[in-house]
Amino acid sequence: MGVAIINKVLNNNVVIANHPSYGEIVIIGKGIGFNRKRDDEISLENADKMFVLTGKKEQEDYKKLLPEIDEKHQGAIIEAINHISKRVSGSVNEYIHVGMTDHLLFALNRIENGLSIKNPFLVETSTLYPFEYEIAKEVIEILEIKTGISLPEGEAGFITLHIHSALTNKELAKVNQHSQLVTHLINLIEEQMQIDIDKESIDYVRLVRHLRYTIDRVLRGEKVEEPEILTTLLKDEYPLCYNLAWKLMKIMQQHLKEQVCDAEAIYLTMHLQRLQKKIT
């Protein structure tokens, strides 16, 4: 792995260094910055983790963030992020070191100060991204073991979005918006159909995932086929569900600022009719 030249010691566990091949890198390892100074050579063999933050803003954000972190918290956060990297197949966007560190630090500090934020999108988030949610709960366990601080379940939802963003290279803001959009659509369905959907039911899981896949298709510009006979049948047999499907599509269109294929109404109607059938 070679050696690098230290540019800045952020704390005992993290240094910024210049590497002959990769340029500016972040090196993480227990005690790796202790008694080190600028221009010292450092062997990468001693590093637990090395990564490159290519964006200037990302570099500056990370440099500003780390000196403020309590070392116990930092060690727990580093272990949590390493756990995420080991649990997933494929590469994880390196910005997770900035975004996740910032979020977990803020979350730990909030709980220490007796503050807690409710997560109104937890159920939909856990249903949309079950794999990421499972890892998020493991992250919370690691943090509790390492720091003694127990984060509330709602935090698992926020962590899930960070993990999904890092896995898919999607901006966190976009991932968050889409999760909120699904929640908004579910709330509208319950309101319009005057029902409380069982959030543990397979029909709910299918509906939430269908809404997510619809959003993904719309953003990719994909179209689904529209069997005319089925359209006529659903429109005549289930007019309430069919009209509600069109309302949902219009809301998606407004939020996503993209055209929603007419044929999506068919598949939404079938999901809605399945819910209606359960209560009639």
For the domain that residue 242 is a member of, what is the CATH number? 1.10.1790.10
pLDDT for position 57: 74
Q: Are residues 188 and 254 in the same domain?
A: yes
Model pTM score: 0.82
In this structure, the answer to whether residues 61 and 166 fall within a common structural domain is yes
Q: Of 25-34, 121-130, 189-198, 236-245, which gets the smallest average pLDDT? A: 25-34
CATH number at residue 16: 2.30.24.10
User: Across residues 233-254, what is the average pLDDT?
Assistant: 93
> What pLDDT band is residue 167 in, cutting at 50, 70 and 90?
very high
Same structural domain for residues 25 and 63? no
User: 121: which DSSP letter?
Assistant: T
Domain boundary among 127, 143, 170: 170
Task: Judge if 269 and 188 occupy the same domain.
Answer: yes
Torsion angle of the four alpha carbons 171, 82, 136, 103, in this order, in degrees rounded to the nearest 10: -50
Residue 258 and residue 191 in one domain: yes
Q: Side chain identity at 17, as an amino acid letter?
A: A
Final residue belonging to a domain, choices 114, 143, 170: 170
Tens of pLDDT, residue by residue over 51-97, are 886 767 777 777 777 776 787 888 899 889 989 999 998 788 888 88
Residues in the chain: 280
Can you tell me the mean pLDDT for 174-186? 94
Q: Which long-range contacts (CB under 8 A, 24 or more apart) does 1-5 make?
A: 1/43, 1/44, 1/45, 1/47, 1/50, 2/43, 2/44, 3/41, 3/42, 3/43, 3/44, 4/41, 4/42, 4/44, 5/39, 5/40, 5/41, 5/42
Closest to 83 in 3D by CA, of 129, 119, 48, 123: 48
Averaged over 5-11, what is the pLDDT? Answer: 88
Residue 106 to residue 115: CA distance in whole angstroms: 11
184 with 126, same domain: the answer is: no
Range of the domain at 166: 55-170
Task: Say whether both 178 and 213 belong to one domain.
Answer: yes
- Spatial separation of the C-alpha atoms in residues 7 and 24, rounded to whole Å: 8
Number of domains in the chain: 3
- Specify whether 44 is located in the same domain as 7: yes
97 and 195 in a single domain? The answer is no
Shared domain for 184 and 259, answered yes or no, is yes
Q: Does one domain contain both 216 and 254?
A: yes
Which uninterrupted H or E stretch holds 256? helix 239-256
Q: At which of 35, 52, 69 does a domain end?
A: 52
77 and 9 share a domain? no
- Quote the pLDDT of residue 12: 84
The total of other beta-carbon atoms located within 10 Å of residue 174's CB is: 12
Question: According to DSSP H, which parts of 91-129 are helical?
Answer: 96-112, 122-128
